[in-house]
Structures are given as C-alpha cells and as structure tokens.
Structure 1
Amino acid sequence: MADISITQQHQLGADAARAAAQKVADKLAGEYGLQCRWEGDVLRFERSGVEGTLALGESQAALRIRLGMLMGAFRSTIEAKVAESMRKVFA
C-alpha cells in the first residue's frame, strides 16, 4: 500500500471550499474512475485499488489517499497531479 497525504491552506468560505473540493473530486473521478460521496464536510472516494478522503476545515483542505499495490506504482504521478489540482482550486 502507498499513501498520499496533502494539506492545502485556503482562505475560502465554507461554500467556496466545498465547491473547490468538488472540482478536485470531479477531476479525480474523471481521470481515475472514482466514486465520490459527501459525508458532512468530508468527501469520500473509492474504486478498486484506491480509497481516500478530502476533509474540509476552516482554513485548510486535507487529502488522504491510500493506493493499492497496482496503483501504488503510479504514486508519484498521482501525487503530483493531485497536489497541482489542489493548489489551483484552493488558491
């Protein structure tokens, strides 16, 4: 198993932060075929070999991804893409 952990600071209000998180989720879903669902302020996503959360706080968004064996081989690429997406949408 390979884990990815990214925390992105933001100065967005609750609604704007949720909209930004949804953009990240939509991008992940499109690229990696993930199923996403909200549970309060936590966006959960999963598919075979990938599971994770994007938790929204007052001033930060915390992304945690757990990759299975096969997806773990692409950890660096996935982490770079997701970090860039987080920077863009939460800026």
Structure 2
Amino acid sequence: MPSIDITHSHGKTPAQARKAIEQVAKKLAERFEMAYAWDADTLNFNRAGVDGKIQLLPKSLRVTADLGFMLSMLKGPIEAEIRRVLAEKFD
C-alpha cells in the first residue's frame, strides 16, 4: 500500500493539467535529483527513498508514493507540501 495517497480535484483541461504537472516535475527534478517520465496520463517519478506517480484523471489528480525508511519519518511534512503545491497549481 502506498505511503502517500492523495486525490485532488481540478477544473483544468487535460492539456492544462498535464502542463502544470510537468512544471512541478521539472522543479522536483532540479531540487531533488528526481527522475520522471510520462506513461500515457501517468507521470512516474523516483529517486533514492521514493517511488511514486501522479495520475491525471478527467477531473482530479491522484498522487501516490512509497517512501523509504528515512523519508517515511517525514511523511506528514511531505504530504503537507504536496497538498500545498496541488492547491497552488490546481485551485
């Protein structure tokens, strides 16, 4: 079961939502040396200690991630930051 599982509704078109997700992924890649790649409407990302995905659904996004031992201790702050970014980009 994923360590993090967040669903966030949005009113963007699929193209707008995909662009916003791509912008977030680029920032994460730069800040945390995270690799990412699209597979249809799912952006998969990973780095040491985290493996996750962002699914682009018609009216929502679903962020799931498995956190390694060290990052699992920071689950609360990580979830809070994900929710903040989603609200900033998709509300």
Q: Same fold (TM over 0.5)?
A: yes
Q: Distance in 2 between matches of 1:26 and 1:67?
A: 20
- Where do residues 64-83 of structure 1 align in structure 2 (5 Å cutoff)? 64-83=64-83
Aligned CA-pair RMSD: 1.6
Q: Distance in 2 between matches of 1:29 and 1:67?
A: 17
Q: Distance in 2 between matches of 1:62 and 1:49?
A: 20
Q: Distance in 1 between matches of 2:83 and 2:36?
A: 18
Closer/same/farther in 2, CA of residues 2 and 73 from structure 1, 3 Å limit: farther
The equivalent of 1:35 in structure 2 is 35
Q: How many residues align?
A: 91
Structure 2: gaps spanning 5 or more residues: none
Residue identity (%): 31
Query: 1:49 Cα deviation (Å)?
Result: 1.0
When the two structures are superposed, what TM-score results if normalisation uses the length of structure 2?
0.90
When the two structures are superposed, what TM-score results if normalisation uses the length of structure 1?
0.90
Deviating beyond 4 angstroms after TM superposition, the runs of 4 or more aligned structure 1 residues are: none
The equivalent of 1:12 in structure 2 is 12
